[in-house]
């Protein structure tokens, strides 16, 4: 991670109508990246104005690639920090933590939108518990290893083996099929295409019926792609399902704890995914310290790992209890019921295609 990043801070007097709690200093850090979408930034501002925080804090705007905010944040009291548009969200978060002296920091990405009054009060009410290491707005059991394997298999069956896709298959895996159609090979999780095309370059495969023999063939293909030296070997850095982890799109943590964990994260999407849900990721390291990880809902309750699905904050029902949403939370609400089944199983229940795990 790049070191010595200079933070240029513009201090403004804060007054947002919170209950003052002098004993704990809290920063709410919002990463404003215009390239992600200026409307997402505007929607965050609207939500910040609409819902009271309930807890004294400094709102820090990290303008990632935003040197001059003009009048964008004129309606809210804040401190503005301009940073280069390099690295990923988590690099900016860790750099801020290492250069600040707040006791607690709530990190929100560009997609974040507040959805409930007293949102910070509800989170801080549990974060100050010395037995709690991290408080999130959403959590998941998803394993990137299992999800990626299944997605690669659907890709292989459709685009290489040319299986006859019946209505049942399309209904079951429609979410993946849509992703594959939209990605056009750009998604970093589809690197196996390179390997597949290499093996099948001179073979004309006729359309076939899906059967058990294809499970064995894919297993061999997957071994070549995911073993040491393969393009997807990095996926072994993720536990298989269930893999409980706090989603890092909105999470609250003690600044000293995050700094003490001493993360050094390469500037890649894979490395950021490992930080969120890998064996050496944030949640796993906090659990290893015998500290609790919890999701806090709009109801103000803290949900332990076993109750995350019941919290109705992420990919469950209508997520009516989420405290701070992101694009994936809102995307679920817009997803048809027929495609929700696969997404729900990837998140909360292990899914198998044929005999593969």
Q: Find tokens 């209505």 and name the residue.
A: 167
Mapping DSSP to helix (H, G, I), strand (E, B) and coil, where does residue 322 land? coil
Question: Counting beta carbons within 10 angstroms of the beta carbon of residue 290, is it exposed (0 to 12), middle (13 to 18) or buried (19 or more)?
Answer: exposed
First to last CA, the chain: 35
For the chain, the maximum distance between any two Cα atoms, rounded to a whole number of angstroms, is 71
Q: Which two tokens stand for residue 153?
A: 């298999």
> Which of 49, 40, 31 has the alpha carbon at shortest distance from 87?
31
Cβ burial 158-177 (10 Å sphere, 16+ → b, else e): bbbbebeeeeebeebbbbbb
Q: Which two tokens stand for residue 215?
A: 């499970």
Q: pLDDT value at position 355?
A: 45
Q: pLDDT value at position 196?
A: 52
Q: Which two tokens stand for residue 263?
A: 């993360």
Q: pLDDT value at position 193?
A: 55
Q: pLDDT value at position 354?
A: 55
Beta strand pairing status for 104-108 and 26-32? Answer: parallel
Cα 333 from Cα 171, distance rounded (Å): 18
Q: pLDDT value at position 10?
A: 30
> Which of 356, 122, 96 has the alpha carbon at shortest distance from 240?
356
Q: Which two tokens stand for residue 282?
A: 């944030």
Q: pLDDT value at position 332?
A: 97
Cα 328 from Cα 145, distance rounded (Å): 19
Cα 27 from Cα 43, distance rounded (Å): 20
| Contact in structure between 33 and 64 (CB atoms under 8 Å) | yes
> Which of 139, 147, 227 has the alpha carbon at shortest distance from 189?
147
Q: Report the run of H or E that residue 250 belongs to, with start and end.
A: strand 250-254
Q: Which two tokens stand for residue 352?
A: 């198998």
| Domains and their CATH numbers in the chain | 8-141+242-338 (3.90.550), 144-237 (no CATH)
Whole-structure pTM value: 0.87
pLDDT tens for the chain, residues 1 to 357? 333 333 323 322 333 334 333 347 999 999 999 999 999 999 999 999 999 999 999 999 999 999 999 899 999 999 999 999 999 999 999 999 999 999 999 999 999 999 999 999 999 999 999 999 999 999 999 999 999 999 889 988 888 888 888 888 888 888 888 887 766 544 544 444 555 555 555 444 567 778 889 999 999 988 888 888 888 899 999 999 999 999 999 999 999 999 999 999 999 999 999 999 999 999 999 999 999 999 999 999 999 999 999 999 999 999 999 999 999 999 999 999 989 999 999 999 955 555 454
DSSP 8-class letter at 339: H
| Contact in structure between 275 and 263 (CB atoms under 8 Å) | yes
Instruction: Give the angle 308-243-263 at the CA atoms, nearest 5°.
Output: 105
């Amino acid at each position: 991670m790049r070191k010595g990043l200079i933070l240029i801070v513009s201090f403004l007097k804060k007054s947002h109508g919170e209950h003052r709690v002098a004993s704990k200093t809290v920063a709410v850090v919002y990463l404003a990246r215009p390239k992600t979408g200026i409307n997402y930034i505007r929607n965050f501002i609207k939500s910040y104005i609409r819902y009271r925080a309930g807890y004294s804090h400094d709102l820090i705007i990290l303008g990632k690639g935003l040197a001059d905010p003009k009048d964008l944040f004129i309606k809210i009291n804040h401190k503005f920090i301009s940073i280069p548009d390099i690295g990923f969200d988590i690099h900016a978060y860790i750099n801020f933590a290492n250069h600040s002296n707040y006791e607690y920091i709530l990190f929100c990405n560009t997609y974040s939108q507040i959805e409930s009054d007293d949102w910070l009060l509800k989170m801080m009410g549990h974060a100050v518990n010395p037995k709690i290491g991290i408080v999130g707005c959403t959590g998941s059991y998803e394993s990137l290893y299992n999800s990626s394997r299944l997605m690669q298999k659907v890709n292989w069956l459709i685009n290489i083996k040319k299986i006859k896709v019946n209505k049942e298959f399309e209904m079951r895996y429609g979410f993946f099929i849509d992703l594959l159609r939209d990605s056009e090979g750009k998604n970093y999780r589809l690197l196996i295409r390179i390997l597949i095309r290499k093996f099948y370059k001179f073979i004309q495969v006729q359309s076939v019926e899906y059967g058990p023999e294809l499970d064995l063939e894919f297993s061999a293909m997957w071994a070549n792609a995911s073993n040491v030296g393969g393009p997807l070997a990095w996926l072994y850095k993720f536990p298989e399902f269930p893999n409980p982890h706090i989603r890092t799109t909105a999470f609250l943590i003690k600044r000293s704890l995050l700094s003490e964990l001493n993360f050094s994260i390469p500037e890649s999407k894979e490395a950021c995914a490992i930080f969120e849900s890998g064996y050496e990721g944030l949640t796993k390291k906090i659990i290893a310290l015998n500290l609790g990880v919890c999701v806090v809902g709009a109801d103000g309750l803290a949900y332990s790992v076993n109750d995350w699905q019941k919290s109705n904050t992420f990919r469950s029902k209508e997520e009516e209890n989420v405290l701070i949403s992101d694009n994936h939370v809102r995307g679920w609400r817009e997803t048809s019921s027929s495609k929700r089944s696969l997404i729900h199983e990837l998140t909360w229940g292990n899914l198998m295609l044929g005999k593969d795990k």
